[in-house]
Amino acid sequence: MLRPAVFLTLIASPAVAADPSFDCSKAESGAEKAICASDALAELDLEVTRLYKLAVATPDMGDDRLNELKAMQRGWIKGRDECWKSDLGLETCVANEYGFRIMDLRQGYANARSADDDGISMGPMVLACDGLDAMVGITFVNGSEPLAVMRWQENAIVLPRVPSASGAKYETDMWYGGPSSLFTKGDEALFTPPGGAEVTCKIEEIG
């Protein structure tokens, strides 16, 4: 069931995570070294680790689904470590990979959403937008450098938050297809898909 979101003041968490979930003295990949050098990326690493542990602890998951989750996590880490190849730049790519993984864990495993007071992510929610044929899935990551992670049809994007006089604004001009932005205030939103026209949306929780 969909219901209007009872919102939602999207404010960055005051806590800053200095250390990621792994030992930085043993960091090998460029992605790991970037995470160790960035409080914002370390925060994202800790959030993925928190959600992954909750997902693994899902009651009555079964061996097949647990093994699939573990394999997907290993594959995701491998993909993150290949961010040195990205046209977006290493740190932006790493942040995006964490954003997408946070969204996937929250959407795929209800148990990952069972301790939200301990984390920095919110969702899944959806945007119901005039002029778009599909709902837009959205997860907010409210760390020291907040992100809005979005997926619809075959499209996906991560938008970093930028200063705004009111509401919350997310935007980037570093995405395939062109600039994109999202402005939210309460359960109202304005979304500009990459290279597209602005549409009016409602933010709804998934019940």
Q: What is the pLDDT of residues 133-158, one digit of tens each?
A: 899 999 999 999 999 999 999 999 99
- pLDDT of amino acid 10: 43
Tokens of 194: 């990459």
- pLDDT of amino acid 4: 53
Q: Which domains does the chain have, with CATH numbers?
A: 2-206 (2.40.128.200)
Q: Over the Cα atoms of the chain, what is R_g?
A: 17
Alpha-carbon span 127 to 125, nearest angstrom: 7
Residue 93's φ and ψ, nearest 5 degrees, are -60, -45
- pLDDT of amino acid 6: 45
Identify which of 207, 134, 152, 158 has the alpha carbon closest to the alpha carbon of residue 40.
158
Residues in the chain: 207
Residue percentage of the chain with pLDDT more than 70: 91
Through-space distance between the first and last CA atoms of the chain, rounded to whole angstroms: 5
Instruction: Say whether pLDDT at 66 is over 60.
Output: yes
What's the average model confidence in pLDDT over 151-166? 94
Alpha-carbon span 74 to 69, nearest angstrom: 9
- pLDDT of amino acid 169: 97
Identify which of 127, 121, 122 has the alpha carbon closest to the alpha carbon of residue 203.
127
Beta bridge partners of 96: none
What's the average model confidence in pLDDT over 35-58? 97
Alpha-carbon span 122 to 10, nearest angstrom: 10
What's the average model confidence in pLDDT over 77-86? 96
Alpha-carbon span 39 to 175, nearest angstrom: 23
Residue 131 — pLDDT band, cuts 50, 70, 90? Answer: confident
What's the average model confidence in pLDDT over 30-39? 96
Tokens of 162: 């930028």
- pLDDT of amino acid 16: 45
Residue 29 — pLDDT band, cuts 50, 70, 90? Answer: very high
